[in-house]
Structure 1
């Protein structure tokens, strides 16, 4: 029987999920029924984690307890910090360092031998991972700058604490709110490549560390997690050219270059997350008095929209504005994808637990196109 080949699993349903839904035709993203714009503006990242992991938004009492438990898990063992320093000294890239550190964290997991079907234990392990990843990333960045790590502050939010550990200074209100919103809008996005990778690993009933490491590996690829850095590199190139951004884009397109940050596998209109980050970039620009990146991105978007790209389903995605937002907060470009992982780990954990609760090993097939009926010849006769 002939089975239609779906390259990249395009259009293939492999699971059902209550976690997130992407409507690419109208540009809508929801987490468990809640519109992403409402969550980004009205809920903290901790609330979103609770929603994804427990199925409902928390009460004030539930949130306080959840946030306190999360904050209590931020410390990382000195041996892990020593390894982070070694990786920084060796010039390792941040995503590779994160992958190595997360693998090492599993050695210090107090419930490492928990039953794979104890999903409460999986959530607790996931909570530890989620709490420690910001500590790992901030320590790595400081190590390669020749600075000592900053101890986490349990009194700060998940977003605020990361910025504090990264810089040694508590962030201002605009930066903390903006970063919290960035974490929220990146927390989940259906069965993207990294989430599906985590799910495949989880379907073997492997532990959550293995699933998260797999997710990190998938996210590190330039076709998935690296586009925001590509956008920022283009903006710096525009700036260094001393050209008007629209003129630069015209020349780049005439030369056959693709403008990163436009187009998405699912969205056919402007990504709702891009709308949110554009607003926050305006806030950051007003706060700092520097509107350069805002001017460049809005000019480029306006020009490409006039050229009919959006009408043809190639619209700004979340990466078009996230790089400018992070740069405005002084975050290095090669940390953008690790920050993506820092947020998306919440979605990976939620999907793995949801799938494992009604598990079936994911085992697709490939159509064989190799030779048939080959005759074996012993090695001495070849």
Structure 2
């Protein structure tokens, strides 16, 4: 199925959506990594220095990284999935995005409208395609409980248009639009957004009274594009206490024991529920000589963590191991795999890509009494594999 030939389609099966989304990003010169059999993420897309949205980027070295989950029905996306994709986006320096066809059995996501599922922006495929192919950003937001979407507007442009209405006082303008002066001020300060109906009334009123301006020009200048590929950590709504609390998401004795030992070693840690790996540990590490930053001599190393108990079939955890390694390589990250076995010889590292993963038995892990010992072992092993990340 071709992205180009089916650009006008409004509805896809989930597998068609995945294929179309991959092709859409690839045609926009993104590199992608496919994540198979993960309940919270299907695709990671990355592009450096996207000039089409450069207005939203301060640092010209910024990479745009998007963590995507593709859904047939948006409402099937659960809270625990949202926590994992938000945490992964937070750690991976990117933004989560949901692509879906509908949000109920017979209710389609509309073109050009951004929906929200557990604080994650959600759009249909055509909205994504218009953004990537034609640089047409959505400007409308669907709010749960409201009958119509809200419109993102440029408050400064609205203020300038209002000032140009020399024959009207501000009070008269508000009366014509049937809004309070507080609402008009809030629109101008962008603290609230008008409904699509009210927005059309504003454009119509301005167009009828600013004869030197066309309705199309007013509409174009008033709409403020929503920057879907730009976020900050506050937007991701990360509750560190929740993600550090392993007991709230599992009753696996081995994971709980590992979590307790990491606490004794004073590692910061996060836990996932629906990814090929289980968690993440972070610690301060010395910079290498090629990390030129005059303001600090250390940086935070992030090490993804996998846990394998003795009951797990080797073929199963080897698949997890290889899948995780590919993702870590794409994200330029590293991992440590803790396996509950005294014999690790059955892991053929020549046939399984583990060059960015340090494999350790749980017995060896529990024997470690100081954090610096584990840090040194991780660093030394990964340096030998020529895959330490800087």
- Relative to the length of structure 1, the TM-score reads 0.24
Write 1 or 2 for the structure with the bigger share of helix. 1
- Relative to the length of structure 2, the TM-score reads 0.23
